[in-house]
Structure formats: structure tokens, C-alpha cells
């Protein structure tokens, strides 16, 4: 183990300008890997960040499996198979440009990719490529790999990678680590979770061109709720309490989620081991500073003030192909298209401890305005500008105390809540002030 | 770049600040650190906008607004680089309840003198309930800092790690340590009083009954030893006479005042007394010798 880690310990100390001793780095790295069981890459980055260094200066890249990729990674090395590849012309900053896009696969999963710059080698379906210095983004809940100007792509022998087989993977060795739902962190593997299933449904997804069933839903313990995905049919039922051993944690835009497959062991437990579903299925109220620390959470409630509307609130037009909001009539990926109208609000919700971007969909926005999309289009036509809709929303929303409930995700730009429901906050200010004053006088 | 949080804090605490620090990164944000350790880059304020005036020129307007809360006054400046906020300010008709989101600013014309102000991003008129909710939030925020500062004062010296250990959030702990290093040991009782004042402001049982039409000045009127209604009466009459005789705007001539006063039953003695009293109260003045003018 020690010899294996040595190059990485060197790499970390070098990235930190030799400020920290190798012994200390080795101890930390070993703790991250063996106690907290995060991936090597996550461990290296975390250690460098913790000591105030820049993780981008780490040199010894670790080839990741596609399933390990998170959104927002800056320097990713991969060995993957081209599952499909296509060409497309896009408009970028006024000019036209040819890009490649398609799907990458490895034994763990498949992921879409886009090559924004011409590649030195032609790519064809079935090729195995070694990719260095790619970066990842997230779009519509899925990680995407991007090849940019710094990315190197080289072909490898087709036998360098086994054919993609969904669900493949080696069984875990060693005892799983027991983790409570609130303590799930990205990158952890072989964990044991004791929880109640609150909901479960079967979905069909396409994995490498073949249909596959995934059983996903919500599970919870006393500390919180989380999404889960089971890649094997364990005949899970709502309300049952079980122990899942050998699960792993992925994040979807910052929200930790539990996944498990045929490597996991499921043990059914007594139903009264955990509080009933109604008690577990609440949306906990949280401070934004705590959400920022966790990186997001599923189904939480936040109270704060909508202090500003962001660009792109009100009446927007979306690309009919990818649903991106058009800028000046053009889609970032598909160029000039005929946009489809939609209503949305992107507002800054600030609770005094932190701020997040709250996104309200068409239905919620129509409710806030008490106006339909059609009425907004008509109003914008008459005023010859979509600003009227935005101004009306600003008038209703800005400076308003609200309570919003939804999923909170995170990326490089901070936290974002996809608002599920929201209401204007009515607080009995006098009662709360009286209580605080009594506390003050009592302690004086 | 994570968005800076908008602090809710009272004008009195904000205006006590004279420390400015910089963050890190490519474009380091600047912070105004208050004596209680609020490390403020952005503020959210709701108060009464009491006046708005253009302190720039017509060609390059710079709008200044005063926003008062239960403890003091914020100064808000919006110029050509805040076009939306400037235009919103110029259209307001004070007094009005206003919500302001803006960036903290500190200005030091000379060593030892500092002025804090706000450069607004968003300005909006709101109703009283939004203002009341803001006061409650400002009180809660103040309470948090008071508790954390009380912990810090028990430590020697206070450290970020020590504060985090007793449950203070890291973001607040950082500001507290900077504040202690700069301001030394601040007197918490002053801020406790501010907190109580803010809370009482929200409660009708502490509101002093104010008769309609009465001026709402805090200073009590000087109590006269002889509360004579006669004196008040003649003062009123004299004031009327002075106003009426001031035909050309240069003031009423003494002879005319005396003549008219006598016909209205005010003796020369009580006239002189009344004029002296009115001069004292600042209701009239003597622009040139022998003439009286109402202010």
C-alpha cells in the first residue's frame, strides 16, 4: 500500500510547495482512503484544498472510471470506448464551428461527451481512447465530459478496455462502514445504511443501447432523506426497514445519493426500528450556510428574502431540441432556432446566513403572477419587450420574505434550489420579538 | 465565486465600523468589519427613506438617500454606475419604507475619520410588514454576534478554532477574531441595549402614545417655572403681528409692532417679554436693528 501511495504523496507535497511534511500527507491520505473510503482523486484534491493549495496543480492524474466522475472536475483522465460519435455545426461567438459529440463508455457506465476543438485523430465508434485533461460539466442532471483546448486524446488498442457490460463490477472486500443518511458524502463506497424506504418505483433506462431496469426512490433515517438507485431488483417495498451493505455514494449536482447493485447485501429489519414514514418524510428547515457546507440536500425548506431577480427571469424562449434558454435568439449548442416560450424565475434567496439561486418553473411563476404564459406573451407583444414580465415579477417578489421547499444542488456558481413549492412568509413578528426580549431580560 | 451573503444589521452597528479588510482570490472582495465582527460585503436593509437628494450635478447626478432604522441612519449613494438604483431612488417620494440591497463602503477623508455608506444594487419601496420582519431578522443576527463575542471575550486570545469549537459558525468566527484584533474589547452592554431597543420597537406595549400633530422630538420641552397661559397667548399674538407687518420681507418695524400690540391689548412690558421669549425659542430674529422677522 505504501509504495503505491508514494507517488501521490510526492505529488500532493509538491502541489503544496513542500509546506507540509510527507509524513503528515501520508497519514492524511491514508485516513481519507482507509477510514473515510473516498476515491484517491477526491482524497488528493481534498488534502490539497485543506492546506490552501490549488488542486489543479496536481500532476499525477488518476484515470477515473466514468461512474466516478462528478460535475465540475477540471482535470480528468479517462480510458474509455467511443460508443457513438457525431458531428455538428454550432454558432459560437458569432462564428460557425464544427464540434464532435457522442457517448463514451467504460465497464462502469456511459456518459455523453463533446469535443469543442479539432482532434488530432479521427474518432470512430468502437475506438478505445486515452483522454487527458478533459473537464466535466453537468447538464440536466447528467455529467458530461468536455474536451477543450488543453485536452489530449490518443487512441489505444481496442483490447485495452473490456466491452461495456452494464452492472459489471467486482464484489467489495472488507467490512462496510455504517453511515447515517445525513453523513453520506460523495465518493464513499462500501457503506452500510439502515433506513426506511419511503417510496420506490421501477424505471427503464437505456444502458449501452440495451434496456435496463433501475429501482429508484427515497429512503430515510432519523437524520434525513436521500434518493437511492438500486440496479438490481431487490423487490423493495415502501415502508419497509432494511440494512443495505455495500452501497456507494454518488452525488447528483452536490446532493449525495445512495446506489447499490448486485454486490450489495440487503437485510430486512423490524419495521418499528425507525420512526414511521410520516415522521421521516418531512422537509427539514435548513440554513443556507449549512446547505453550503453539505453541498446540497434533497427536499429541504428554506426561509429567506428574495433579494434580487437574476438574468433570464420572466418570459424566456427555449431551444426546441435541448431546452436551453436562447440568448439573442440562438442556442449555445444548436445555433439559431425557433424558440419555444416558457416562464421561469431565477431569484436570489438570501436568509442572512447565505444565498442560493431559487428557480421557479412555469407553473409556479404563473401562480406568482396570477397570469398564464399566453397572457404574458400578449403583454410582451404589446410592450414590444419581454421586460414587462420581468418587471412585474420583480415588483411582486423582490424584498419579500418567502418559504421555499425543494431540492438544493450545487456547482461552481454556488447553490441552486429547484423550487417545488413556495409561499410568502407570514411571521408573527410581535410574538417572536416578545419571546426574544423575554429571553434577554431573563438572562440580564 | 460564491455569492456574498446579505447581512442584516442595524445602522448604529454599521456606522461604528472603521475597519476594512480584503478577501482572497483574483478579484478580492472587500469587507467592512463591525466592532461585533460582522464581516460585511453586502447588506440588506429595510428602513424609512427619509430624504433623497442629488448631491452631484444635473449632468452627473449622484443620489444620496438617508435610510433610518430604530437605531440610526444608513447613507446610500447611487451614481452613474448604479443606473437602476439611481433611477429608482430619484423617483421615490420620501418618507417611504424602502428595501435596499447593496455593497458596503467605507470612506476615510483623513486619518481618524471614517464614514460608512451603502452602494445600492436593488432599491424597492415596500410595506411596513416587510420592515418589521427586517427588524426581527436584524435583532436575531445581532443576538448571534453578541453571543459569539461574549464567548470570544472569555478567551485570551480568541481564535477561530476555539470559537468553532464552542459552536460558532466559521464565517462569523473569522470576523470576530478580526474585530477583536482591531477594536479591542468592545462594550457589549451598548449593543445589548441596541438589541432590546430594536425588539421594543416592534412591540406596541412599549410604543409611546403620540398625539396627532405633535412634533415627535425626543428632547423634552423646557419646563417653565411659571407656566402662564397669558404669556403663551401674548407670544402668539406678537408672532402674528410680526408676520402681518412684514410686508416687504425685510422684517416688521419696532414702532409698528408696538402700535399694533397696544391696540390688541398687549402692554409694552409684556410685548418686550414676548419678543425676548420668541427670540430665545428661535421663532423670530432681528435681520437689522429695529426690525423683527418671523423664521
Q: What is the ipTM of this complex?
A: 0.70
DSSP code string of A60-112: S--EEPGGG--TT-SSEEEEEEEEEEEEEEEEETTEEEEEEEEEEE-SS-EEE
Smallest Cβ–Cβ distance between A437 and the set B5, B137, B199 belongs to B199
Work out the average pLDDT over A351-380: 93
Classify residue A146 as left (phi > 0), alpha (psi -120 to 50) or beta.
beta
Contacts of A400 in chain B (CB under 8 A): 130
Q: Provide CATH 1.10.10.10 ranges for chain B.
A: 229-294
Q: Each residue of B219-231: pLDDT tens digit?
A: 444 444 444 566 7
Q: Chain A residue closest to B5 (CA)?
A: A354
Per-residue model confidence (pLDDT) at position A344: 94
Q: Which residues contact A29 (CB under 8 A, 6 or more apart)?
A: A5, A8, A9, A12, A43, A44, A47
Pick the CATH number of B229-294 from 1.10.1070.20, 3.100.10.20, 1.10.10.10, 3.10.290.10: 1.10.10.10
Q: Tell me, what's the pLDDT at B279?
A: 79
Q: For residues A16 and A54, what is the distance between their CA atoms, to the nearest angstrom?
A: 8
Q: Give residue B218's Cα distance to chain centre.
A: 13
Instruction: Pick B174 or A249 by higher pLDDT.
Output: B174
Delimiting residues of CATH 2.40.50.140 domain(s) in chain B = 6-183
pLDDT exceeds cutoff 80 at A199: yes
List CB contacts of A305: < 8 A, sequence separation 6 or more. A349, A350, A351, A399, A400, A401, A402, B6, B44
pLDDT for the residue B205: 87
pLDDT at position B209 is 61
> What pLDDT does residue A11 have?
81
- A141's grid cell: 442532471
B129/A429 Cβ within 8 A:
yes
- Residue A2 three-state SS: helix
pLDDT at B17 exceeding the cut of 70:
yes
For residue A110, give the nearest of A64, A156, A189, A164 by alpha carbon. A164
Report the pLDDT value the prediction gives residue B294, as an integer from 0 to 100: 81
Nearest residue in B to A399, CA atom: B99
pLDDT at A59: 61
For residue range A8-38, what is the model confidence (pLDDT) as tens digits? 888 888 888 888 888 889 888 888 777 776 7
**Residue A404 pLDDT:** 96
Residue B211 has pLDDT above 70, yes or no: no
Are B99 and A444 within 8 A, CB to CB?
no
**Stronger pLDDT, A329 or A391, i.e. the higher one:** A391
A320-346 pLDDT, tens digit each: 988 888 988 888 888 889 999 999 999
Residue of A54, A305, A399 to mutate, interface with B, max B Cβ within 10 Å = A399
What stretch of H or E contains A331?
Answer: strand A330-331
Query: What's the confidence (pLDDT) of residue A253?
Result: 66
Taking an 8 Å cut-off on Cβ atoms, the answer to whether B122 and A440 are in contact is no
The count of other CB atoms within 10 Å of the CB of residue B11 is: 23
In chain B, the residue whose alpha carbon lies closest to the alpha carbon of A307 is B101
Contact residues on chain A for B122, CB-CB shorter than 8 A: 307-308, 398-399
Q: Any idea which of A84-93, A260-269, A306-315, B61-70 has the lowest mean pLDDT?
A: A84-93
How many interchain CB pairs under 8 A, A with B?
A: 86
Q: How many CB atoms lie within 10 A of CB A373?
A: 17
Mean pLDDT value across residues B109-126: 91
Res. A1: pLDDT tops 60:
no
pLDDT score for B246: 83
Q: CATH number for the B6-183 domain, one of 2.40.50.140, 3.90.180.10, 3.40.50.10480, 3.30.9.10? A: 2.40.50.140
Mean pLDDT across A252-259: 78
Which of A72, A287, A391, A433 to mutate against chain B (most B CBs within 10 Å)? A433
DSSP collapsed to 3 states, B277-289: HHHHHCCEECCCC
Burial class from Cβ neighbours inside 10 Å (0-12, 13-18, 19+) for residue A419 reads: buried
User: If interface means Cβ-Cβ distance under 8 Å, which residues of chain A face chain B?
Assistant: 288-289, 292, 305, 307-308, 348, 350, 352-355, 394, 398-401, 413-414, 425, 427, 429-430, 432-434, 436-437, 440-441, 444
CA distances from B105 to A401, B182, B232 (A): 26, 18, 49
Q: What angle do CA A380, A385, A390 make, to 5 degrees?
A: 75
What is the tens place of the pLDDT at every residue in A150-190?
888 888 887 777 665 444 344 455 678 888 888 887 667 78
Which pLDDT does position B149 carry in this prediction?
A: 95
Q: What is the pLDDT of residues B134-170, one digit of tens each?
A: 999 999 999 999 999 999 999 988 999 899 988 888 8
* B5, B132, B195 ranked by CB distance to A355: nearest: B5
DSSP state of A285: B
Q: Judge residue A411's burial from the number of C-beta atoms within 10 Å of its C-beta, 0-12 exposed, 13-18 middle, 19 or more buried.
A: middle
A196: which 3 cell numbers?
426506511
- pLDDT tens string A203-238: 988 877 788 899 999 999 988 888 899 999 999 999
Closest CA of chain A from B214, distance in Å: 26
Nearest to A414 among B3, B136, B139 (CB): B3
Mean residue pLDDT across chain B: 86
Residue pair B293/B279 in contact by the 8 Å Cβ criterion: no
- Tell me the pLDDT tens digit for each residue of A96-155: 888 898 888 877 777 889 998 888 888 888 888 888 889 998 776 678 899 988 888 888
pTM of the model: 0.62
When the pLDDT of each residue in chain A is averaged and rounded to a whole number, the result is 85
Query: Any residues with CB less than 8 A from the CB of B91 and at least 6 apart, and which?
Result: none
Segment B25-63, tens digit of pLDDT: 778 899 999 999 999 999 999 999 988 999 988 888 999
- Looking at CA atoms only, how far is residue B126 from chain A in angstroms? 8
Indicate the residue of B122, B140, B169 with minimum beta-carbon distance to A307.
B122
Amino acid at each position: 500500500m505504501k509504495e503505491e501511495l508514494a507517488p501521490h504523496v510526492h505529488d500532493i507535497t509538491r502541489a503544496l510547495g513542500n509546506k507540509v511534511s510527507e509524513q503528515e500527507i501520508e497519514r492524511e491520505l491514508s485516513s481519507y482512503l482507509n477510514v473515510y473510503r473516498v476515491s484517491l482523486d477526491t482524497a488528493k484534491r481534498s488534502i490539497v484544498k485543506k492546506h490552501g493549495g490549488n488542486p489543479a496543480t496536481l500532476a499525477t492524474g488518476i484515470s477515473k472510471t466514468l461512474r466516478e466522475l462528478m460535475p465540475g472536475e477540471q482535470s480528468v483522465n479517462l480510458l474509455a470506448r467511443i460508443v457513438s460519435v457525431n458531428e455538428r455545426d454550432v454558432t459560437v461567438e458569432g462564428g460557425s464551428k464544427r464540434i464532435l459529440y457522442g457517448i463514451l463508455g467504460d465497464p462502469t457506465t456511459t456518459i455523453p461527451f463533446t469535443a469543442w476543438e479539432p482532434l488530432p485523430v479521427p474518432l470512430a465508434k468502437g475506438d478505445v481512447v486515452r483522454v487527458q485533461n478533459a473537464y466535466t460539466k453537468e447538464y440536466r442532471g447528467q455529467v458530461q465530459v468536455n474536451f477543450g483546448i488543453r485536452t489530449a486524446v490518443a487512441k489505444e488498442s481496442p483490447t485495452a478496455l473490456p466491452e461495456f457490460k452494464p452492472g459489471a463490477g467486482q464484489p467489495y472486500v472488507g467490512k462496510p462502514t455504517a453511515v447515517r443518511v445525513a453523513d453520506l458524502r460523495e465518493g464513499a463506497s462500501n457503506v452500510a445504511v439502515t433506513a426506511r424506504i419511503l417510496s420506490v418505483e421501477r424505471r427503464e433506462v437505456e444502458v449501452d443501447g440495451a434496456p435496463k431496469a433501475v429501482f429508484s426512490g427515497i429512503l430515510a433515517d432519523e437524520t434525513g432523506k436521500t434518493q437511492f438507485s438500486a440496479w438490481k431488483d431487490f423487490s423493495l417495498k415502501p415502508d419497509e426497514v432494511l440494512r443495505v451493505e455495500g452501497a456507494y455514494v454518488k452525488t447528483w449536482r452536490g446532493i449525495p445519493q445512495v446506489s447499490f447493485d448486485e454486490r450489495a447485501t440487503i437485510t430486512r429489519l423490524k419495521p418499528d426500528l425507525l420512526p414511521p414514514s410520516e415522521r421521516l418524510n418531512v422537509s427539514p428547515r435548513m440554513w443556507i450556510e449549512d446547505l453550503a457546507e453539505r453541498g446540497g440536500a434533497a427536499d429541504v425548506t428554506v426561509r429567506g428574502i428574495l433579494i434580487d431577480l437574476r438574468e433570464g427571469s420572466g418570459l424566456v424562449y427555449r431551444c426546441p431540441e435541448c431546452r436551453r434558454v436562447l440568448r439573442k435568439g440562438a442556442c449555445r449548442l444548436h445555433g439559431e432556432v425557433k424558440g419555444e416560450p416558457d416562464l421561469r424565475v431565477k431569484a436570489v434567496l438570501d436568509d442572512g446566513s447565505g444565498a442560493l439561486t431559487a428557480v421557479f418553473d412555469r407553473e409556479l411563476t404563473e401562480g406568482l403572477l396570477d397570469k398564464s404564459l399566453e397572457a404574458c406573451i400578449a403583454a410582451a407583444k404589446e410592450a414590444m419587450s419581454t421586460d414587462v414580465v420581468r418587471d412585474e415579477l420583480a415588483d411582486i417578489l423582490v424584498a419579500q420574505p418567502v418559504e421555499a421547499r425543494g431540492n438544493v444542488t450545487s456547482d461552481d456558481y454556488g447553490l441552486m434550489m429547484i423550487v417545488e413549492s413556495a409561499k410568502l412568509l407570514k411571521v408573527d413578528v410581535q410574538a417572536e420579538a416578545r419571546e426574544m426580549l423575554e429571553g434577554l431580560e431573563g438572562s440580564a | 465565486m460564491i455569492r456574498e451573503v446579505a447581512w442584516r444589521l442595524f445602522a448604529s452597528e454599521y456606522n461604528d465600523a472603521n475597519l476594512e479588510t480584503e478577501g482572497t482570490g483574483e478579484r478580492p472582495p472587500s469587507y467592512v468589519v463591525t466592532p461585533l465582527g460582522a464581516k460585511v460585503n453586502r447588506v440588506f436593509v429595510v428602513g424609512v427613506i427619509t430624504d433623497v437628494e442629488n448631491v452631484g450635478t444635473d449632468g452627473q447626478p449622484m443620489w444620496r438617500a438617508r435610510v433610518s432604522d430604530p437605531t440610526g441612519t444608513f447613507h446610500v449613494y447611487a451614481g452613474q454606475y448604479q443606473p437602476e438604483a439611481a433611477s429608482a431612488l430619484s423617483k421615490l417620494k420620501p418618507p417611504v419604507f424602502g428595501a435596499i440591497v447593496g455593497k458596503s463602503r467605507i470612506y476615510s477623508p483623513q486619518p481618524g475619520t471614517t464614514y460608512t455608506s451603502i452602494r445600492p444594487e436593488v432599491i424597492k419601496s415596500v410595506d411596513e410588514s416587510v420592515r418589521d420582519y427586517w427588524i426581527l431578522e436584524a435583532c436575531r443576527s445581532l443576538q448571534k454576534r453578541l453571543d459569539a463575542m461574549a464567548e470570544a471575550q472569555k478567551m485570551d486570545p480568541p481564535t477561530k478554532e476555539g470559537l468553532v469549537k464552542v459552536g460558532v459558525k466559521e464565517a462569523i468566527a473569522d470576523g470576530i477574531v478580526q474585530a477583536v484584533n482591531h477594536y479591542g474589547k468592545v462594550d457589549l452592554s451598548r449593543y445589548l441595549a441596541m438589541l432590546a431597543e430594536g425588539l421594543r420597537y416592534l412591540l406596541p406595549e412599549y410604543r409611546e402614545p403620540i398625539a396627532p400633530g405633535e412634533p415627535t422630538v425626543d428632547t423634552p420641552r423646557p419646563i417653565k417655572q411659571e407656566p402662564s397661559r397669558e404669556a403663551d397667548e401674548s407670544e402668539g399674538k406678537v408672532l402674528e403681528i410680526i408676520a402681518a407687518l412684514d410686508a416687504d420681507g425685510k422684517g416688521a418695524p419696532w414702532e409698528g409692532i408696538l402700535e399694533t400690540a397696544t391696540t390688541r391689548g398687549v402692554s409694552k412690558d409684556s410685548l418686550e417679554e414676548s419678543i425676548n421669549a420668541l427670540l430665545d425659542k428661535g421663532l423670530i430674529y432681528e435681520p437689522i436693528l429695529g426690525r423683527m422677522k418671523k423664521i
